[in-house]
Amino acid sequence: MVNGCGGPAGFAGACIAGLLVFASIFAPLIAPYDPVAVSIIDKLMEPDAAHWMGTDQSGRDVLSRVIWGSRASLAVAGFAVLIGVTLGVAIGLFATWVRGSWLEQAIMRVLEAVSSIPILIWAIALVGIFGVRDAQWGPFIVSSETKLLVLLGLLYIPTLARLTYVSALGEVGANYVAARRLQGVGELGILFSDVLPNCLSPVIVQATLLLAIGIIVEAAVSFVGLGVQPPTPSWGNMLASGRDYLISGEWWLSVFPGAAISLTVVAFNLLGDGLRDRFDPRHSTSMGYAT
Amino acid sequence: MIQPGHFFELHDVRKEYVLRRGLLQRLTRRAPKVAAVDGVSLSIERGTIFGLVGESGCGKSTLAQIMVRLIEPTAGKVLYRGADVARLRGEEERAYRHAVQMVFQDSGSSLNPRKRIRRVLAEALSARGVGGAAARSEIATLMRQVGLDTALLHRFPHELSGGQRQRVGIARALAMKPEVLVADEPVSALDVSLQGQIINLLCDLNRELGLTIVLISHDLAVVARACTQIGVMNAGKIVERGTPQQVLFSPVDPFTRQLLASVPRGLAGRHRRLEPDISPAEKALRSVRQPRLPADEIGRQRSASIA
Amino acid sequence: MRQPQSVPPKPLLHIDGLRIAFKAGRQWREVVRGVDLSVAPGEVVGLVGESGSGKSLTALSILQVLPPEARIAGGRIVFDGTNLVGLSRKAMNKRRGRDIAMIFQDPLTALNPVIPVGRQIYDSLRTHQTIGHKAALERIQELLEMVGIRHPRERMRAYPHELSGGMRQRVMTALAISSNPKLLIADEPTTALDVTVQARVIGMLDRVRRDLGIAVLFISHNLELIAEICDRVSVMYAGKVVESSAVETVFETPRHPYTRQLLRCIPRLDGASGPMPTIPGLPPRFDSELVGCPFAPRCDEASDRCRAAEPPAWREPGHLAVCWEAA
């Protein structure tokens, strides 16, 4: 179990990440209070036995809001990665398939151009352009959260597509692929049966690290008011509204969502690094040195 | 033109690579070309073991890939049973693919690291349309043919030794019921004590199944031991051809002589190289040696020509 | 420090009961199981064995550059009177690259790809020795000429990837001997090279060590090559030295069946045909339990005694064989 995550650090990351996912799924059962129930009498109460993380300026329970906020943060980060992995891997494989042609060159140049600008900058710029109100995309009514996660997912594509492409290119040159060609297996068949499974490991590692980036982007975008809209709690918008109270001494408003962000990012990074170690081929051929 | 009875022939086969330089150079003038294989003609008789010897970069691996049709020659013809293999289509092309198989150098990449041995062989058989119980019994036969215990079937490649992996590579090729086996440096990654086992296995297959084998190696001693005919390759050309006796004891080409002189010979060769003088013949040879292709260039060209 | 057994002349390097453990899952397995080896000043000693015999680990342990999964589990490595095992990192760094140098199978990984080769030798000279700029440049030319590189002035400016494999190995050697080491460890220096190039590189190594009097520990799986340049040879099998003697003795009157069978396996240009001689079976896996002589399952002379108990060392002046049948 511990080895499956690449050691104790990776295992710790997996545990924390698992706990967070659990909390976000079962938020309605776990959260002690309604996260949006306003109660002016209880406003700005310090953490105590009734409210472990205190209450905010509208008297809402901070702990409940942090738990519910994990929903928004993890949903955005998670679905974005799902979109990114699906389309990124597909495009990466497609570029490998058409290698040697102008199409391959065109795809790779575009991907490189997009990834030359950091994701955070892209996200803020694009959300700014598309606005924060619910929009009508075709038959769908799209909330600002959904817009954010779709945009983020699209922004993940270049990283994942290039990663897939590079590892797939390494695989198609291998002799076992040549052996499959000699068996008369078609190029597309080889891509799916041999190449794809062998280049997924780095993609999974990268996806885990992108989850952490997604949390940060969601927080940053919500912090500047472009992401998840109040009153729905998200760690980013909680941080933004707690900002004004830091100077007057109500530290719990910003410290707890801030800590949640840090903890999640650290957890996913630990897990990602652990998985990287785990997938390192040297672990399976430890005797390779003694020649 | 084609005489009956000829089994596997190469007629003046050439393979040129265009050296890709910068974009500007590509636009302004024609990019320089390098011939990896420079006009090779060969005739390999059925049921024999043909040895191809040469140093790295001499074009022997390119020639092997042309033989199995992993790459297409720039010019020249490959004839199999009298038919031009470049013109084969559909079912005939498939039959040729299966009939001419390759055994790769064991560099760790000749077997898919994520597939168990059973799956490697089962996939090869299913490419030939053999499945189910027939496949199971044929897998057992293949393992016995290459001298492996069926207990190894559930192992992953990295759990096998180099010699065992090489045997699996041979079994995978045999699964296609080939007529010709092109073995590209099949023992160069193996220890001396194991090289003989693999070479002997190839010789046994040649004798028992009547398999025609093209054995490619940089090791003249290994090739001389196993083959009926030897071709020495240098700079994309076959510079010497003959039986092992002819090549070893009365070499004609200066390159063959240099190759023979370079083989380590134990106590007899002690300190004989104190003055590594370069003979005029070697000097002349060096000046005509082809420029080497950068390795990544070859890889790109290869994948481009397959795609 | 006194040597437990004196090997005349006083050895430069003396390895005594070296054991190296390798991490296999959760357990540590000994893969080098008590190796004794000595190299006298100016002597060329060959270390031969199959892959997995522990010959490379033995070499790496001298410089203490073992991979992270391996560690020295016991024994001493005495170099020039100092036990290197347990030496501080700082003290070891002083020895590494100055008193002891190493060349590898693949020089490309040992040379910095973005620095011209001349510059790399220059940097090494200036860090290890007090030498002026001009003197260093002259020394580089001298070194490159010594390893048989013509036109050293032009070659100095080349980057490693612009040189052929043989040239790179020459540059690597020039870099290794630039600090006037007492011992050069050559780990399969010609395995990746063509035979014609190998012949020239071996000739170069032979001349360099004669000119400079450097002791060489030459590691190879190729017995014929070892015979050409070594004075003494140690044969390793499954983590132990099974036979050790002067090179002529090992070739002419080998006492260990493994050596005999290994010699028989070497393909020779004698025009022989028919099946190649082989050693049946496989060397033991590093994680298997060893009972008796580890070579017994593959040995054509093994008896029940060999399979039951580990063989004793048979000694004669200057000749050692670890085999029940040797005596």
pLDDT at B22 over 80: no
For residue B271, what pLDDT is reported? 65
pLDDT at A263 over 60: yes
For residue B282, what pLDDT is reported? 46
Selected residue with higher pLDDT from A217 and C9:
A217
Q: Which two tokens stand for residue B93?
A: 């092309």
Domain that holds residue A189: 3-35+60-284
In a domain, C290, yes or no: no
Asked if B200 lies within 8 A of C276 by C-beta distance, the reply is yes
**Which of A143-157, B227-241, C113-127, C269-283 is the most confident on average?**
B227-241
Contact C121, C143 (CB under 8 A): yes
- The residues near B135 (Cβ < 8 Å, ≥ 6 apart) are B122, B125, B126
Residues of A in contact with C54 (CB under 8 A): 290
pLDDT at C60 over 60: yes
For residue B174, what pLDDT is reported? 96
C105 in contact with A at a CB cutoff of 8 Å? no
Contact A279, A271 (CB under 8 A): no
Asked if A99 lies within 8 A of B176 by C-beta distance, the reply is no
d(CA B264, CA C70): 33
Structure-token match 């309604």, residue found: A34
In a domain, C143, yes or no: yes
Position A90 confidence tier, pLDDT thresholds 50, 70, 90: very high
B25 in contact with A at a CB cutoff of 8 Å? no
d(CA B234, CA B239): 6
A-B CB pairs within 8 A amount to 76
In a domain, A213, yes or no: yes
Cβ neighbours of B94 (radius 10 Å)? 15
For residue C2, what pLDDT is reported? 43
Residues of C in contact with B107 (CB under 8 A): none
In a domain, A139, yes or no: yes
Per DSSP, the residues of A45-108 read PPS-SSSTT-B-TT--BHHHHHHHHHHHHHHHHHHHHHHHHHHHHHHHHHHHHTTTSHHHHHHH
The count of structural domains within chain C is 1
What chain C residue is nearest to B226 in terms of C-alpha separation? C273
Closest to C278 (Cβ–Cβ): which among B200, B222, B275?
A: B200
Amino acid letter at A52?
W
Residues of A in contact with B306 (CB under 8 A): 181, 187
pLDDT at B182 over 90: yes
What ranges in chain C are assigned the alpha helix state H? Answer: 55-63, 89-95, 107-110, 117-128, 133-146, 152-155, 165-177, 195-212, 223-229, 247-252, 257-265, 304-308
Selected residue with higher pLDDT from A59 and B306:
A59
What's the rounded mean pLDDT across residues C285-313? 87
CATH number at residue C112: 3.40.50.300
What's the rounded mean pLDDT across residues A137-154? 80
- Bridge-based pairing state of the strands B100-103 and A135-137: unpaired
In a domain, A47, yes or no: no
Contact B49, B206 (CB under 8 A): yes
Chains in contact with B, where contact means 3 or more Cβ–Cβ distances below 8 Å, are A, C
What's the rounded mean pLDDT across residues C170-197? 89
Cβ neighbours of C275 (radius 10 Å)? 13
In a domain, A266, yes or no: yes
d(CA B179, CA B206): 10
Asked if B196 lies within 8 A of C276 by C-beta distance, the reply is yes
Selected residue with higher pLDDT from B2 and C92:
C92
For residue A181, what pLDDT is reported? 92
User: Which residue spans within chain B are E strands per DSSP?
Assistant: 8-18, 33-44, 49-53, 75-80, 83-84, 100-103, 180-184, 212-217, 229-234, 237-242
pLDDT at B189 over 90: no
For residue A1, what pLDDT is reported? 60
pLDDT at C167 over 80: yes
**What average pLDDT does the structure give for chain B?**
84
- Bridge-based pairing state of the strands B49-53 and C13-24: unpaired
Domain that holds residue C106: 13-243
pLDDT at C68 over 90: no
For residue C280, what pLDDT is reported? 87
Q: Bridge-partner residues for C44, per DSSP?
A: C216
**What average pLDDT does the structure give for chain A?**
84
Domains of chain B: 8-261 (3.40.50.300)
Nearest chain A Cα distance for residue C144, angstroms: 30
What chain B residue is nearest to C286 in terms of C-alpha separation? B161
For residue A273, what pLDDT is reported? 84
Nearest chain B Cα distance for residue A107, angstroms: 17
Query: Mean pLDDT lowest for which of A238-242, A276-280, C17-21, C223-227?
Result: A276-280
In a domain, A45, yes or no: no
Per DSSP, the residues of C217-242 read EEEES-HHHHHHH-SEEEEEETTEEE
**What average pLDDT does the structure give for chain C?**
88
For residue C244, what pLDDT is reported? 95
SS3 A129: helix
Residues of C in contact with A289 (CB under 8 A): 56-57, 67, 69-70
Task: Give tens-digit pLDDT for B258-304.
Answer: 999 888 888 877 766 544 444 444 444 444 444 444 444 433 443 33
In a domain, C300, yes or no: no
- Bridge-based pairing state of the strands C232-237 and B212-217: unpaired
- CA A269, A273, A279, A285: dihedral to nearest 10 degrees? -170
In a domain, C204, yes or no: yes
Residues of B in contact with C261 (CB under 8 A): 193
d(CA A276, CA C92): 32
- C82: part of which helix (H) or strand (E)? strand C82-83
User: Which residue spans within A99-146 are E strands per DSSP?
Assistant: 135-137, 140-142
- The residues near C86 (Cβ < 8 Å, ≥ 6 apart) are none
Residues of B in contact with C227 (CB under 8 A): 264, 266-267, 269-270
Chains in contact with C, where contact means 3 or more Cβ–Cβ distances below 8 Å, are A, B
CATH number at residue A221: 1.10.3720.10
Q: Which of A2, A283, A291 to mutate to test the interface with C (most CBs of C within 10 A)?
A: A291
Residues of A in contact with B107 (CB under 8 A): 175
d(CA C70, CA C63): 13
Contact B64, B184 (CB under 8 A): yes
Structure-token match 């910095």, residue found: C112
Q: Which two tokens stand for residue C21?
A: 């453990």
What's the rounded mean pLDDT across residues A265-288? 70
Asked if A173 lies within 8 A of B98 by C-beta distance, the reply is no
Nearest chain A Cα distance for residue C51, angstroms: 4
In a domain, C90, yes or no: yes
How many residues can be counted in chain C?
327
Selected residue with higher pLDDT from A269 and A58:
A269
Residues of A in contact with C51 (CB under 8 A): 290-291
Contacting B residues, span 67-126, partner chain C, CB-CB under 8 Å: none
The count of structural domains within chain A is 1
Closest to C265 (Cβ–Cβ): which among B162, B192, B273?
A: B192
Alpha-carbon distances, residue A77 vs A58, A89, A130, A217, B200 (angstroms): 28, 18, 19, 8, 59
Cβ neighbours of B51 (radius 10 Å)? 25
Q: Which two tokens stand for residue A278?
A: 């785990």
In a domain, C263, yes or no: no
Residue A251, CA atoms < 13 Å, CB-side half-sphere: 3
Q: What percent of chain B has pLDDT over 90?
A: 63
Task: Give tens-digit pLDDT for A106-141.
Answer: 999 999 998 888 888 888 888 778 776 777 777 777
In a domain, C169, yes or no: yes
In a domain, C75, yes or no: yes
Position B158 confidence tier, pLDDT thresholds 50, 70, 90: confident
Position A33 confidence tier, pLDDT thresholds 50, 70, 90: confident
Q: Classify residue B176 by its DSSP letter.
A: T
Nearest chain A Cα distance for residue C22, angstroms: 8
